[in-house]
Amino acid sequence: MIKIFDTTLRDGEQSPGCSMNLNEKLQMARQLERLNVDIIEAGFAISSKGDFESVKRIAQTVEKPIVASLARALEKDIDAAWRAVKDANNPRIHTFLATSPIHLEYKLKMTEEQAIERAVQAVRHAKKYCHDVEFSAEDATRTSVEFLAKIFEAVIDAGATVINIPDTVGYADPFEYYEFIKAIKENTRGMEKVDISVHCHNDLGLAVANSLAAIKAGATQVECTVNGIGERAGNAAMEEVVMNLKVRQDVYKVDTNIVTTEIMRSSNLLQNITGAKVQANKAIVGVNAFAHESGIHQHGVLANKETYEIMTPESIGLSKNNMVLGKHSGKHALKDRLEDLGYRVSDEELNNIFDRFKTLADEKKTVYDQDLEALILRDMSNM
């Protein structure tokens, strides 16, 4: 099973327009538990009083998932993270340090040796509190495999239980990321004892593809967010990663613990809380993801859903697909909708209504049920 580490409430919440208050975070955390994510990253405890309180309340509220707080590789951050997560049934401290030359030189002003020392101190400090400690090498994809192997061996020796290899700036390409994860796995002593995690950003639109490539290379944990919210262009979208694994079992041969019928509810809740709406054509959860307007497609789907649907709407928690009636729709879909509305019409009546429906669709773009009722009623009053 691939572990789903949900960071909607930490990396997701860091994106403009997506911040949430305590109650909203609690509501979302309860929904993430129903969704059955393995890990909830509840926040960055030291970043604000509000964040600390949210992490603490989530840790006290959810029962099954691991609850993590982010912490820089600093004792004061790790202390705050522990105080926030310690009441959880399954607490985790997630500490991180950048490893790429550009971050070491300009942000941290550290040598590689100093970075290793700092990372080891951080993991050792976290281990005094908590068995479950994740170490992330920020900007890993712009770091050499050789240096990553060194720092990962050192933190594994210090007790890290999860090693995260983030594509912080969304720079990786799936083929390259696959080779990168494989090379790290093969060249790092102790990697077989820990969970290998990936955390991909979407700057080039490849966060989900990169996460899937990493799974193929041996990653066992994927960090992602509901609706793909997150810094800049966002993080890997949880629903896309999960449904790829489910629908393409033949390719990936691994699944997740996610209750997929809770996906739509989770997406809608987040959209309602933050006001950040997903685009209509968003994979899995966009309003058009299970909508069919063209006559050819509608005819196919009415005859056999699998002609144009590779997963069922029910599998993500929708009650049914959506046949949108517009200028591309055909007689089959119109007849079907009229029957749903309780009107049985002869072939001749259908031809008549269809002509007027097409004229209306050209004017209105989408023809709703009430428009159809009006057409039918006008037809009847002319009889």
Cβ-based nearer residue to ligand KIV, 11 or 24: 11
Cβ-based nearer residue to Zn ion, 210 or 298: 210
CB of 147 to ligand KIV, least distance (A): 16
Residue 24 contact, options Zn ion, ligand KIV, none, Cβ 5-8 Å cut-off depending on partner type = none
Size of the site for Zn ion (CB under 5 A): 1
CB of 314 to ligand KIV, least distance (A): 34
In order of 343, 363, 383, the CA distances from 377 in angstroms are: 11, 19, 10
Q: What are the tokens at 167?
A: 């594509």
* Residues forming the site for ligand KIV (CB under 6 A): 11, 70, 96, 136, 138, 164, 166, 168, 199, 201
Name the nearest CA neighbour of 285 among 317, 310, 257, 307: 317
Interface residue with Zn ion among 6, 11, 138, 293 (CB under 5 A) is 11
197 DSSP β-pair partners: 164, 221
Helix axes 369-381, 331-340, angle to 10 degrees: 90
CB of 206 to ligand KIV, least distance (A): 14
Alpha carbons 144 and 142: distance in angstroms, whole number: 7
Cβ-based nearer residue to ligand KIV, 207 or 269: 207
Name the nearest CA neighbour of 216 among 193, 196, 236, 239: 196
Residue 138 contact, options ligand KIV, Zn ion, none, Cβ 5-8 Å cut-off depending on partner type = ligand KIV
Name the nearest CA neighbour of 242 among 275, 215, 265, 217: 215
CB of 3 to Zn ion, least distance (A): 17
Alpha carbons 20 and 271: distance in angstroms, whole number: 11
Contact 228, 242 (CB under 8 A): no
Q: Mind giving me the DSSP string for 162-177?
A: EEEEEETTS---HHHH
Cβ-based nearer residue to ligand KIV, 168 or 210: 168
Cβ-based nearer residue to Zn ion, 8 or 321: 8
CB of 138 to ligand KIV, least distance (A): 4
Cβ-based nearer residue to ligand KIV, 125 or 201: 201
Q: What are the tokens at 45?
A: 């405890």
Does the protein bind Zn ion through residue 132 (CB under 5 A)? no
Of 9-17, 156-164, 248-256, 274-282, the window that binds Zn ion (rule: CB under 5 A) is 9-17
Alpha carbons 205 and 210: distance in angstroms, whole number: 10
CB of 316 to ligand KIV, least distance (A): 26
The C-alpha R_g of the chain, in whole angstroms, comes to 25
Q: What are the tokens at 151?
A: 């720092």
Site for Zn ion in 289-318 (CB under 5 A): none
Residue 96 contact, options ligand KIV, Zn ion, none, Cβ 5-8 Å cut-off depending on partner type = ligand KIV
Residues binding Zn ion (CB under 5 A)? 11
